[in-house]
Amino acid sequence: MTVQTLQKPRIVLPELKDKVAVVTGAASGIGRATAVALAQQGMKVCLVDLKNERREQVKQQLADMKAEVMTADVDVSDPNRVHQAFDAAAKQWGRIDAVFANAGINGVLSPIEDMKPEDWDHTLFVNLKGTFLCVKHAIPHMKQNGGSIIITSSINGSRVFSNFGMSAYSTSKAGQVAFAKMAALELARYKIRVNVICPGSIKTNISENTHPTPELDKIKIPVKYPEGSQPLEHAPGQPEQVADLVAFLASDAASHITGTELFIDGAESLI
Ligand code: NAD
């Protein structure tokens, strides 16, 4: 099923109107679709990404929808830049109600014995430290009014450990699940909900940030199902399907949901 960006949202969540969201990895894929979905609900959206040209295209797309939008040129693994981005969004709009900590990379895919420590670090820095930094710097701006934080992990961080070469990625994604649960517990006192989503294969540009090493061929095993095969669709999911889940989690419709891992994978993780 192809799910396209519609002029009107598929689900209507009126309480999101005029609230403020920060979306990381907003220039592409799941982040981009989510920025559009939240803007369709009337949210003001801060687009965080290091891909400037694409980020500006998304900004234009939201501006064309008459949404209030700002951008931040940020590497999420850089503490100062993340701090500045959250402060800037809060200064612009007076509050932050929802954070989608979604920026991520597959990084270098390598057998463990050949993995360079700096490649391991890079994946962990972007995916895991980046998530920590976004949550840390969101808290001062959310603790007065409460809100919702959604973190993008993966089925590879929770249920699926069969993709060879992905030790750093899977470790970072598993870390995000543990971190989300700890954050949910700690931040409940501020009425900040924290949930983590685990997508299966989704059709995005993530292969641009995927770097298999030649050594990977040494350990590859034949896969039972072709990549992207999902029992429900027999095809990868669409970013817009993930965006609807994020909008729901951002809204009051999910007011009693926190500390939860939600799979959005068409049952891919069950095969
Ligand atoms: P994508 O490559 O289309 O989008 C990711 C965005 O993150 C890009 O715009 C990129 O520039 C940005 N980004 C990367 N590193 C960054 C950094 N250091 N600082 C700021 N921005 C950075 O990929 P996507 O599939 O939309 O990925 C979004 C999230 O979904 C990632 O966390 C990924 O691990 C997760 N995920 C994706 C899939 C999939 O099949 N596509 C499956 C499970 C989980």
Residue-level pLDDT at 252: 96
pLDDT tens for the chain, 271 residues long, are: 555 566 678 889 989 999 999 999 999 999 999 999 999 999 999 999 998 999 999 999 999 999 999 999 999 999 999 999 999 999 999 999 999 999 999 999 999 999 999 999 999 999 999 999 999 999 999 999 999 999 999 999 998 887 889 999 999 999 999 999 999 999 999 999 999 999 999 999 998 888 999 998 888 766 555 665 788 988 899 999 999 999 999 999 999 999 999 999 999 998 8
Tell me if 234 is assigned to some domain: yes
Residue-level pLDDT at 6: 61
Distant-in-sequence, close-in-space partners of 139: CB < 8 Å, separation ≥ 6? 187, 190, 192
> Is residue 225 flagged as an active site residue?
no
Ligand 1 centroid distance, CA of 25 (Å) = 6
Instruction: Map residue 148 onto helix, strand or coil.
Output: strand
Ligand 1 centroid distance, CA of 189 (Å) = 30
- The one catalytic residue in 93, 169, 179, 263 is 169
Distance of alpha carbon 189 from alpha carbon 175, whole angstroms: 23
Q: Are 174 and 158 in contact (CB under 8 A)?
A: yes
Tell me if 4 is assigned to some domain: no
Tell me if 9 is assigned to some domain: no
**Ligand 1 atom nearest to CA at 27:** 9
Angle at 106 between CA 196 and CA 265, to 5 degrees: 45
Count CA atoms within 13 Å of residue 184 on its CB side.
19
Query: Structurally, how many domains does the chain consist of?
Result: 1
Tell me if 270 is assigned to some domain: no
Look up the domain containing 62 and give its range.
14-202+215-262
Q: Which amino acid is at 20?
A: V
Residue-level pLDDT at 271: 83
Residue-level pLDDT at 60: 98
**Ligand 1 atom nearest to CA at 205:** 3
* Token pair for 220: 């590859």
Q: Are 12 and 38 in contact (CB under 8 A)?
A: no
For residue range 81-98, what is the model confidence (pLDDT) as tens digits? 999 999 999 999 999 999
Tell me if 268 is assigned to some domain: no
Ligand 1 centroid distance, CA of 28 (Å) = 7
* Distance, C-alpha 225 to centroid of its chain: 26
Residues pairing with 24 in the sheet: 48
Distance of alpha carbon 239 from alpha carbon 77, whole angstroms: 23
Tell me if 178 is assigned to some domain: yes
Tell me if 5 is assigned to some domain: no
Q: What is the rounded end-to-end Cα distance, in angstroms, of the chain? A: 20
Residue whose pair of structure tokens reads 């999902």 in the numeric block: 230
**Ligand 1 atom nearest to CA at 237:** 40
Distant-in-sequence, close-in-space partners of 53: CB < 8 Å, separation ≥ 6? none
- Residues having CB within 6 Å of any atom of ligand 1: 24-25, 27-31, 49-51, 74-77, 102-105, 126, 130, 152, 154, 199, 201-202, 204-206, 208-209
From 126, 202, 206, give the residue whose CB has the most ligand 1 atoms within 8 Å, as the site to mutate: 206
ipTM > 0.95? yes
CATH number of the domain residue 71 falls in: 3.40.50.720
Residue nearest to atom 44 of ligand 1 (CA): 154
For residue range 246-266, what is the model confidence (pLDDT) as tens digits? 999 999 999 999 999 999 999
Distance of alpha carbon 109 from alpha carbon 168, whole angstroms: 8
